[in-house]
Structure 1
Amino acid sequence: MQYLLYPIAIYALLYVIRYLITFLQIRKLPVQYPKYELQKADKVPTYLKELFQTPIRELEQLDFKPCSYLQVESIVKVYPPTSWQILLYNETLKTYAIVSIRRPAEPVNLFDIEFFTFFEDRSLLLTMNGKAYGIIGEIPNFIIEDRYTDKTSVQWQAHQDKLNQLAATKTPCNLAPDTFAKTLQIFIKDYIDCLAKAGNISPIKEAELFQIDWLTALKTSHKTIQGGSKAAGIIKQRRQQAKTDSTIQVEIPVELEVEGFQRMEQLQQGIVNKKLRTWLLLGSLALFIASYMKLFSLQSFAIFMGALLFHESGHLLSMKLFGYQDTSLLFLPFLGAVATARKEDATLTQKFWILLAGPLPGLILGMGLAIASRDGSYPGWVQQASWILIGLNLFNLLPVYPLDGGQIADLLLFSRHPYIGVIFKVFGVIILGLLGIGQPMLLLFAILISLSIPNSFRSAKVNSWLRKELRQNPPENRENLLYSIFQNLKQMGYGNLPFSKRYVLAKDLIQRHHESGAKRTTIVLLVMLYFVSLFGGTIGTLQAIAPNWARIISYSFQNPQKLRKRATEAKKREVEQATEALRLNPNDINAYVKRSRARMWLRDDRGAMADYDHLVRLKPNDIGYRLSRASLRARLRDYKGANQDYDYLLRLNPKDIKIYRRRAQMRNMLKDYKGAIADYSEIIKLDSKNISAYLARGYARERLQDYKGALTDANYAIELNPNQPDAYDLRSEIRRRLGDDKGAIVDRQKAEALYKAIEEEDRN
């Protein structure tokens, strides 16, 4: 059940993100009064005149004739500031058709055709195709028909049918083209004024523009997503038809591709303002805290959060230093955090330092804390912080994509060999997939990354071709670079991909182009720096945690008896040195720590116990010292003393599952089964799916002859994991005591079969 919840949660999250992005884009788009101007054909770009021939031929079959070209400033102010449309007229039905280019441009759905019939009562019949979902509010004097169809003839028939219905009460106007353009402009101006009067839009200060109200944008977002799904069905149908009818698919000019890319860039830039980034940070932080609070004690979680923030702050600071824009931080539930920013022309060197600035400072800090806390004079949380810092940052330095180290390796080693980079990413997905066996979120993360592999392969294929061309003909500016990219995409057969994929491909290729400017010597130096950081961090960690690690390794190849004898002599010397230090200063915590560890190694548990008594006296709230003393007391069979230590620890942290489990064990040893049951019940409150707690409570209840309660625990453990042999063992014993011999035999056989399966799996 748990594994099913994760994909459901991811799907819901993606839907919310889609809704949020749509809402932000609608809020960001300024509304303006449109302008329609008739233009002569010589002012229209040649590629557009050639492109418009396809819909012209289609509409001529429906008795439309071309009238003029229109240069339009649309109701929404987006790039490009003006667009070209063509106007056609059906004299019989006194109806105009306007053909424009759909955005984003798709080969099978490139043209947007709308039919307009004005009536003498100053009303207008407008028949569109798959666009009504984008209309805000009601349009006065408009009669709108929308047919989600893949055929223009069906749309035109719908317009004629509506005209026939209106014929009894309305009379169409015969307008000249220039009059039609002016009248349409007036109608839409009135529509905008009505929206402003109704409060759907509000004026933007010092500009003849309007902003869509947030509530209106929210409603329109819902309509857009719902209607967009229906419109996507049209594109799907036309793609299917294009497989057998090549005339349906239109080759998109490169100029339109470049224009579409720049339009998308404008839509995405500044979509998330500073205030919204703050809210997103707080919202993601709340989800992150909720996902991790049960896995950590309060102190451990605070240390983990500090280590994570220190890591991401390194990324953010370096981004700001290199001139990145829109820097932000987001927390990922069950995973970690990610720092994001925007800079299209970032160089390879800049990206390297940004990636390294996250793990390297944290690793150095972790090693420093490990060295400082080695002598035991610092509180226990310092050592814990060192472990978390080292673990988090050293793991991130590993050359596994998409970790920081994996991105560095991909950047430095595979940027010039993109096909090998694709294999490297596949390897990273496999590693994450294996880790995801124990952590489902990592598995889903691996799946999300694997979805980008096809695009990486396309990018690698195009990049190899593009680099040769750009080497021969370096682009003068960004527009020339975009032209070359889309030209190559078309030549390599990627022109028919959905625009969203073409856009992502182009973005990736632009970044690769800027990265390719690095010199080989620079790359070699950065590679050396990365490996020095990785291996230096590994060796430094070993040195910080175990200063004698090299000597220990060399000793391991010597005679074990000699090694043991040398170690024993060394530990005895440590005891003598610490004893001398304590003679001079009876409150020397460092000396007690060293002597207790040496005595434990020498198996002098009582001596070590005496040292921990002093440590607890000097540092009563230190969790590490009290835990160690409790373990020693248990080893010396002083169960009451151990129980007292665990009581104290639980007063310090009443949500520590491990302490409850240890105290329950002590209570079992003291035959305080009711106390043990209370501890196991607390564990279950903190973790309702803790199978071992249910089983342990069941055995404790059995000892108190509470067989019904024990049976309930065994049943619930089996429900949580039907392949748990210990649960069947427990239930078999309970059923036997309740007189259910048949049930006891069945459970015993099931337990034996599961034990046997586990043994065979271990052998294999």
Structure 2
Amino acid sequence: MQYLIYPIAIYVLLTVIRYLILFLLLCKSHIQYPKYQITKADTVPIYLKDLFQTPIKELEKFGFLPCSYLQYQPITKAYEQTNWELLLYHKALKSYATVVIRRLAEPVNLFDIEFYTFFKDRTLLLTVNGKQHGLIGEFPNTIVQDVYTSKVSVQWQTHQDCLKQLTTSKTACGLSPESFAQALQIQMSGYVSNLAKTGKISPIKGTELFQIHWLTVLRSLNPMTQGNKKAANIIKQRRQQAKTDSSILQEIPIELEVEGFKQMQYTETGLVGKKFRSWLLLGSLGLFIASYTSFLTPQSVVIFIAVLFFHEGGHLLAMKLFGYRDTSVLFVPFLGALATARKDDATLTQKFWISLAGPLPGLILGIGLAILAPFSSGYPDWVQKTSWTLIFLNLFNLLPIYPLDGGQIADLLLFSRFPYIGVLFKVFGVIILGFLGKDRPMMLLFAMLIAMGIPNSFRSAKINQKFQKELRLNPPIDQENILHFIFKYLKQLGYGNLPFSKRYTLVKGLIQQQYESRSKWKTRVFLLVIYCVTLLGGMVGILQAMAPSWVNLLTYYSQNSQQRLEQSRKNRQQQIELTTAALRANPNDVNAYIKRSRARLGLHDYKGALADYEQIIRLKPQDIQTRFIRARLRSQLKDYKGAIADANYVIQLNPKQPQAYMLRSEIRRHLGDNQGAIADTQTASNLFKEAMDEEDPS
């Protein structure tokens, strides 16, 4: 039943991510006063003029005729590029139509058409399609309507219907293209001024730009999200229509694809500002702490966070050294943390060292602390916990399981030139994470999210395998040529009609793989050796930390029994000497007394062990286990009165411990108290039976 929660959790997570991305995009958006200017046809790129022929033919059916081109500066400042609009005029209805070619081009939704009618009272009737949700405030003196339709004819009919109603009280104004451009600029500038006046946007010092107020962004999130869904539905409808009417599909020029790719890169750059990254870090850290406090002690939570910071700090430092941008750390509740950054032209070697820079320093530090622990007097408990947390977290991350650091290294070095094997490797990683996460919902959720990207990885592998061969035959000169080359190649393979977001992801991945593929096999082998040595070194280091004498195990088992006993005696004697030296420096070191008592017990020095336990009880008077062991030692040394006193103390503190009754029964027999011994034996038997019944209630 619990597994039904996972799809719901994924849906909620994706919804939160969608809202967060929209929030960041709006916060990053800069508003400016628009500018419109009539321009000559020969300034418009030929590929755009060719594209404009399609909407011209469609709008001519409604009575529109092309009259000019507009060069404009949009309200929302975006990627630095020249923007053109096609201007068409309907003489009978004194209305204009503008056509903009979308940079983030969709084959079924390439043209953005709007209808305008100005009236003599300086009001404007504006009919858009799939855009009204983008308005963040009132549009002064403007009637805006949006029909969210897949057909231009419906949009135009809506405009005509409203125009017909308005002309009963208003008079449409026939404007020349130049006058229309001026009127449009005044109208749109009035919209920006109204936003500033109402406090929805605020000026950015030293510029002519404005920034949207964060409260305005929050209020706009839900309407915009719902509007985006309606706009996406338009594209779905057009895709369905394209199945029976191929004329809806537009051939997208390579130049437009490249412009769209650059605009998308510009949008992503600096999407998360430095201040917001700090708040995101603190917020995710708070959720992370809350997720672990229910089953970890505060000390363990602090140690875990410190280890994660150290690990991710290694990644961040390497990223900064290699020139990555927008570096940040994000904590994931119930899981861990991840470091993020951007660099589109990162090489294979850079990615390798970034992946290794996280686990390697932590592993070295953890093993070093763990090796020093047995020989350090007064070694604090929290330091020991920190050392082993460092070891296990970083060694686990080094395992070749995608998407762990070791998995990314293996994918980078071994499978980047064999895309299909790389996909299988990722599938293997998802299976392993799914198995590990069967009792950990967040890990299973993480595995499911990775699994959702497998189909795209397979598509990318299919393209990349052919692309790399073509690239070796015709290597591009620079990134501009690479982009043209890739988009052209995608068209040849039949991927030109994919949604822009998928084309963008594919192209971005192919560019990254192209940079990675430049590394020679010698480099890959060298880096692979470093990775293997690091992984094996980590395992050997753990063995050394857990059992410093592990190197001598083979020698130990090759010895005869007499030699083993002698070696064991020497080891215990050495332990006694070390702990005795530690106790001279710190007479209150409980751990040293415990270690020395165990060594003395191994040498059958019961009096010495008893003396150590006297000191342990002095330092830990309420410890039941220590009292129990001292009772046994006293009984062994025939101090039955002292032994029974300790046994009574243990039973007083924990009357449900059957072993204590068994020990007291044995002591009472030595003291001649047979009745008491029988009673203790019966009590111990009853307690054992109760414990078994609790374990097996059936």
Contact kept? 1:344, 1:511, Cα under 8 Å? yes
Residue 395 of structure 1: how far off its partner (Å):
0.7
Could you tell me which residue of structure 2 aligns to residue 109 of structure 1? 109
Corresponding position of 1:511 = 512
Q: Is the 8 A contact 2:596 2:612 kept in 1?
A: yes
Residues 250 and 596 of structure 1: CA distance in aligned 2, closer, same or farther (over 3 Å)? farther
Match of 2:532 in 1: 531
Give the CA deviation at 1:257. Answer: 1.4
- In the other structure, the counterpart of 2:42 is 42
Give, in whole Å, the separation in 2 of the partners of 1:583 and 1:129: 85
State the Cα distance separating 1:188 from its structure 2 match: 1.0
- Aligned counterparts of 2:21 and 2:627: Cα–Cα separation in 1: 54
Report if aligned partners of 1:462, 1:488 keep a CA contact under 8 Å in 2: no
**2:152 matched to 1:152?**
yes
CA contact (8 A) 1:74 1:82 kept: no
Give 1:396 deviation, angstroms: 0.8
1:42-73 alpha-carbon deviations (Å, 9 max, x no partner): 22212111212222222122222222222221
Match of 1:136 in 2: 136
The equivalent of 1:225 in structure 2 is: 225
- For each residue in 1:449-473, what CA deviation from the matched residue of structure 2 results, as whole angstroms up to 9, or x when unmatched? 1112122222222223333333343
- Hey, what does 1:545 align to over in structure 2? 546
SS at match of 2:38: strand
- 1 CA distance for matches of 2:155 and 2:549? 82
1:259 aligned partner: 259
2:575, 2:599 within 8 Å by CA — same for their partners in 1?
no
Question: What is the CA deviation profile of residues 626-661 of structure 1, one whole-angstrom value per residue up to 9, with x for unaligned ones?
Answer: 6973785799996765689xx9xxxxxxxxxxxxxx
State whether residues 609 and 629 of structure 1, in contact with CA within 8 Å, keep that contact through their aligned partners in structure 2: no
Distance 1:47 1:635 in 2: 95
Cα distance between partner residues in 2 of 1:220 and 1:418: 42
In structure 2, do the counterparts of structure 1 residues 204 and 386 end up closer, same or farther at CA, with 3 Å as the change threshold?
A: closer
Shift in alpha-carbon separation, 1:442–1:106, aligned structure 2, 3 A: same
Give the CA deviation at 1:567.
4.6
The equivalent of 2:78 in structure 1 is 78
- Alpha carbons 1:19, 1:221 under 8 Å: kept: yes
Which letter maps to 2:487? F
Query: 1:481 is matched with which residue?
Result: 482
Counterpart residue number, 1:318: 318
Structure 1 residue 477: deviation in Å? 2.7
Q: Distance in 1 between matches of 2:151 and 2:693?
A: 66
Where 1:36 maps in the other structure, the secondary structure is strand
Deviates more, 1:425-434 or 1:408-417: 408-417
Q: Is the 8 A contact 1:575 1:594 kept in 2?
A: no
User: Which whole-Å deviations, capped at 9, do the CAs of 1:717-758 have from their partners, x for residues lacking one?
Assistant: xxxxxxxx989975xxxxxxxxxxxxxxxxxxxx5xxxxxxx
Give the whole-Å Cα distance in 2 for the aligned partners of 1:69 and 1:392.
61
Contact 2:200–2:212 (CA under 8 A) maintained in structure 1: yes
**8 Å contact 1:127–1:145 — kept in the other structure?**
yes
Distance 2:51 2:203 in 1: 37
In the TM superposition, what is the alpha-carbon distance from 1:225 to its structure 2 partner?
0.9
**Distance 1:340-1:605 versus aligned 2 partners, 3 A rule:** farther
**Which residue of the partner structure matches residue 639 of structure 2?**
none
Kept in 2, the 8 Å contact 1:633–1:641? The answer is no
Decide whether aligned partners of structure 1 residues 69 and 6 sit closer, same or farther in structure 2, where only a CA change above 3 A counts.
same
Q: Which amino acid aligns with 1:512?
A: Q
What is the CA–CA distance in structure 2 between the aligned matches of 1:606 and 1:444, rounded to whole Å?
58
Question: Is the contact between residue 583 and residue 592 of structure 2 (CA under 8 Å) also seen in structure 1?
Answer: no
One-letter amino acid of the structure 2 residue matched with residue 265 of structure 1: Q
How does 1:275-354 map onto structure 2 within 5 Å?
275-354=275-354
Structure-2 residue corresponding to 1:571: 568
Trace 1:716-731 onto structure 2 (pairs within 5 A). 730=697
SS in 1 for 2:78: coil
1:121-200 equivalences in 2 (<5 Å): 121-200=121-200
In structure 1, the residue matched to 2:403 is: 402
Letter in 1 for 2:532: F
Work out whether residues 650 and 660 of structure 2, in 8 Å CA contact, stay in contact via their aligned partners in 1: no
Q: SS at 2:77's partner residue?
A: coil
Residue deviations 1:191-212 (CA, integer Å, cap 9, x gap): 2222222222222222222222
Alpha-carbon separation, structure 2, partners of 1:606 and 1:309 = 48
- 1:33/1:729 CA distance change after superposition, 3 Å: same
Cα deviation code 1:419-442 (max 9, x no counterpart): 211111111111101101121211
TM-score using structure 1 length = 0.79
Taking structure 1 as reference, are residues 583 and 525 closer, same or farther at Cα in structure 2, changes over 3 Å only?
closer
2:361 — aligned with what? 361
1:629 is aligned to 626
Q: Which runs of 5+ in 1 are unaligned?
A: 648-662, 672-698, 704-724, 731-750, 752-764
Q: How is 1:543-692 mapped onto 2 (pairs within 5 angstroms)?
A: 543-552=544-553, 567-577=564-574, 587=584, 592-598=593-599, 611-615=612-616, 617=618, 620=620, 629=626, 632=629, 666=657
Q: Which stretch has the larger CA shift, 198-207 or 354-363?
A: 198-207
Amino acid at match of 1:570: Q
Q: Is it true that 1:214 corresponds to 2:214 in the alignment?
A: yes
Shift of 1:566: 5.1
2:417 corresponds in structure 1 to 416
Where 1:537 maps in the other structure, the secondary structure is helix
Deviation at 1:292, TM superposition (A): 1.0
Between 1:542-551 and 1:235-244, the stretch displaced more is 542-551
Q: Deviations over 1:567-587 (max 9, x none)?
A: 544334444555577888875
Greater mean alpha carbon deviation, residues 569-578 or residues 605-614: 605-614
CA shift digits 1:697-728 (9 cap, x unpaired): xx99x99xxxxxxxxxxxxxxxxxxxxx9899
Q: CA deviation at 1:346?
A: 1.7
| Cα contact 1:327–1:341 (8 A) shared by 2 | yes
| CA contact 2:103–2:256 (8 Å) conserved in 1 | no
1:358 Cα deviation after fit: 0.9
**Corresponding residue of 1:469:** 470
Contact 1:571 1:599 in 2 (8 A): no
Compared with structure 1, are the counterparts of its residues 642 and 370 closer, same or farther at alpha carbon in structure 2 (3 Å cutoff)? farther
1:263-320, Cα deviation, whole Å (9 max, x unpaired): 1111121222221111111111111111111222222222222222211111111122
Per-residue CA deviation, residues 227-249 of structure 1 (Å, 9 max, x unaligned), is: 00111111112222222221222
CA change 1:580–1:96 in 2 (3 A) is: closer
Shift of 1:153: 1.1
Distance of 2:625 and 2:695 partners within structure 1: 35
Contact preservation (8 Å) 1:115, 1:128: yes
- The share of aligned pairs that are identical, in percent, is 60
| Equivalent in the alignment of 2:241 | 241
Change (3 A) 1:577 1:457: closer
Q: Contact (CA 8 Å) 2:107, 2:250: kept in 1 or not?
A: yes
What is the CA–CA distance in structure 2 between the aligned matches of 1:91 and 1:383, rounded to whole Å? Answer: 84
The one-letter amino acid paired with 1:317 is L
Query: 5+ residue gaps in structure 2?
Result: 634-643, 663-685
Deviations 1:515-556 (A, max 9, x none): 222222222111111111111111122122212324435766
- Maintained 8 Å contact 2:580/2:596: no
Counterparts in 2 of 1:206 and 1:381: CA distance versus 1, 3 Å: closer
When the two structures are aligned, how many residues end up with a matched partner? 657
**2:672 matched to which residue of 1?**
none
Say whether the 8 Å CA contact 1:639–1:669 is kept in structure 2. Answer: yes
8 Å contact from structure 1 (residues 629, 642) kept in 2: no
Report if aligned partners of 2:616, 2:626 keep a CA contact under 8 Å in 1.
no
Which moves more between the two structures, 267-276 or 577-586? 577-586
3-state secondary structure, aligned to 2:114: strand
Is the Cα–Cα contact under 8 Å of residues 613 and 630 in structure 2 kept in the other structure? Answer: no
- Rounded Cα–Cα distance in structure 1 between residues aligned with 2:38 and 2:570: 99
Distance 1:295 1:54, change over 3 A: same
For the residue of structure 1 that corresponds to 2:86, the secondary structure is strand
Contact 1:376 1:593 in 2 (8 A): no
Q: Is the CA contact 2:573–2:599 (under 8 Å) kept in the aligned structure 1?
A: no
What's the RMSD between the two structures over aligned residues?
3.3
Corresponding residue for residue 656 of structure 1: none
Taking a change above 3 Å as real, the CA distance of residues 547 and 64 of structure 1, as seen in their structure-2 partners, is same
Query: What amino acid is aligned across from residue 255 of structure 2 in structure 1?
Result: E
